[in-house]
Structure formats: structure tokens, C-alpha cells
Amino acid sequence: MTDTRPHSTVVALVYDGLCTFEFGCAYEIFGLPRPELHRPWYRFEVCAAEHGPLRAAGGFTIQAPCDLDLIEQADTVIVPGWRGPDAPASPLLLAALSRVVERGGRLASICSGAFLLAAAGVLDGRRATTHWRYADVLARRFPRIEVDADVLYVDEGSVLTSAGSAAGLDLCLHMVRRDHGVAVANCVARRLVLAPHREGGQAQFVERPVVTDARFSGLLEWLPAHLNEDLCVADLARQAGMSVRNFQRRFREATGSTPGAWLVQQRIARARVLAETTSLTVDEIAMHSGFGAAETLRHHFRRLVGTTPTAYRRTFGRLSGSR
């Protein structure tokens, strides 16, 4: 009998140096039986990128039952991470991955697995993401890819990529939602005790860089106590002991950013701390962080963090009952 389930055969690639958590994401979503759904589920298989036994993160080894030939039979192939951005892959593996898309299959990568898809050429001309730590490297090394470092995952139809490790769960749930609908995806999420859809993107997990140039040490010492004031670039230049023009030029040389953009980032950093550690309202956070109005705070918060102050607090707030 022909299996009519959408993308019924899911194959996860294993390799020497396997990222164990990322592999676990794929198995948890596609490999575990789902009798509570009362419908056929995916057929989950594992294939080895090279001869084994293969080492996995955590100190154990894997003996995969199948080799790369299994990829040719897969509806969906998942690359759960990769050894590293600089780690090469065999031409046989890259060719096998490329053929998946050519024959109408689906490819998905978790975290650093995007580098393997990029090397196979299947991301050329497409949007893609990876862990925020690797995004700049991916963009430099593969300029034909439109790298989006702020999202949890990118769906380009036949090719999907996810951000850092845990975002692999978001991506896999999205694939279930695409294949089986919202109700089934929500049921799987409940079993995992996982939100069916997380708000925001990677930006909420990224620590913004600080200015370390000694020429601005006086400004950095002065700013925290005055961040709630109505400041302009001239105020910052005055504290740095420079003319506005010289300050703007030297600041960009030192940070790659404009003083105005950096000031907004400092205000957002203050707002994040207040959202995490206090019970202040959004209006009060806006005042204390120098935005003045809640709407202004919300605008910049969503632009830079990828979510709202309230949603951010629900995720990271350390005070129960905070609003």
C-alpha cells in the first residue's frame, strides 16, 4: 500500500562529532510514536554521513544502520548541526543533499547545519538563518545567501533553516504544522510542554556589544545615571570632550555604529533589565530608560529585540506576577 502521508519518510543525518541535542530535536518531533493523534505518523530513519562508529557530543558513539543511499529515498532530510563552520564535508555528501531538492524533496538544517546546506549550494539565492554567533560568517563565506540573523527559522519551501539549537524544535514543529495542520502541531507541542509558536526571534537572546574604546570611558561612566534624560548626540559629544563632528567620526570608527543608534541600544538594554527584574509597568520602563512614551519603547523594542516588552518579560522576567 502506498504511503500517502505528507513527507512521510524523514531521514536525519549523523556524522562524526554529532550535535546530540540537535539530533534529539529531530527524533523527538519525527521519531517518537504519536498514538494519541490516531493517524499515521512519520517514518524516521538515520543515515551516516561517513563510516562509523561515529562520536557524538556527550561522550558516546553511534552506529548508524544506513549510509548515504538512504537519502535518495527520503521525503525530508534533516541536518542536525554540523561539526563547525570551518569543517569540510565530502563531495558525496554534498551531492546527495543537493539531489534532495532537485528531485522535489525537502531539506532542513538546525543551527550550524546551515553551513552544510550552503556548501551543497541549495541555499544560493534564498533566505536562510543559523545561530546568531555564526550568521556573519555564513554571510561572508556564502554571499549569494540572504542571511537573516534575527529569526528563529526560515521556510523557503523545499529548504528550511533554523537558528540556534533550541530553535530546531520551533522549526520541526513548523514542519509538522505545514504537513498536518495547526491542531496536530499544537498536540505535539503540548506533549513536549513547549509553546506551539514562540514570539520574537534570536535578537532577544543576543547580548549587544559594548564600547570598549578608552576614548569614551568618561561617557560610559556618565551615561547610566543620565539615560532617562532627553539626550542628543551633542550631549554625548560634550561628555566625551569632543566636537560633534569629531565624536561622530571617531565613534563610528570604534564601534561601526552611529552615536544615535548606540544610544537607542543602551536604552533598550536598560529596558530589558527593568523588564526582567522589576514590576514596573511598560510606561514606567519607558520613562526610566529614556524613551518617554510606551509606544516609542515598543517600537524600538520590537525592532531591536524582535518582540514586545510584555512578551519579553513573560519569557525572561524573574518576578512572578510582573506586568
What's the N-to-C CA distance of the chain in angstroms? 55
What pLDDT, on a 0 to 100 scale, did the predictor assign at position 199?
56
- The count of domains in the chain is 2
Residues 138-154 as b/e (b if ≥16 CB within 10 A, e otherwise) read bbeebeebebbbbbbbb
| Residue where a domain stops, chosen among 204, 223, 252 | 204
- 82 and 181 belong to one structural domain: yes
- 42 and 142 belong to one structural domain: yes
What pLDDT, on a 0 to 100 scale, did the predictor assign at position 4?
43
Closest of 26, 136, 154, 138 to residue 79, by C-alpha? 26
- 198 and 287 belong to one structural domain: no
Q: How far apart are CA 130 and CA 289, in angstroms?
A: 31
- 250 and 164 belong to one structural domain: no
- 190 and 78 belong to one structural domain: yes
- 61 and 190 belong to one structural domain: yes
Task: Write out the residue range of the structural domain in which residue 266 sits.
Answer: 208-316
* 323 lies in some domain: no
* 86 lies in some domain: yes
Taking the chain (323 residues) in runs of 10, the rounded mean pLDDT of each run is 59 94 95 90 93 86 88 94 93 95 95 96 95 91 91 90 89 91 85 69 51 72 88 90 89 80 87 87 94 93 86 69 39
What pLDDT, on a 0 to 100 scale, did the predictor assign at position 320?
37
What pLDDT, on a 0 to 100 scale, did the predictor assign at position 1?
29
- 88 and 138 belong to one structural domain: yes
- 242 and 191 belong to one structural domain: no
What pLDDT, on a 0 to 100 scale, did the predictor assign at position 88?
93
- 62 and 94 belong to one structural domain: yes
- 245 and 269 belong to one structural domain: yes
% of the chain surpassing 70 pLDDT: 89
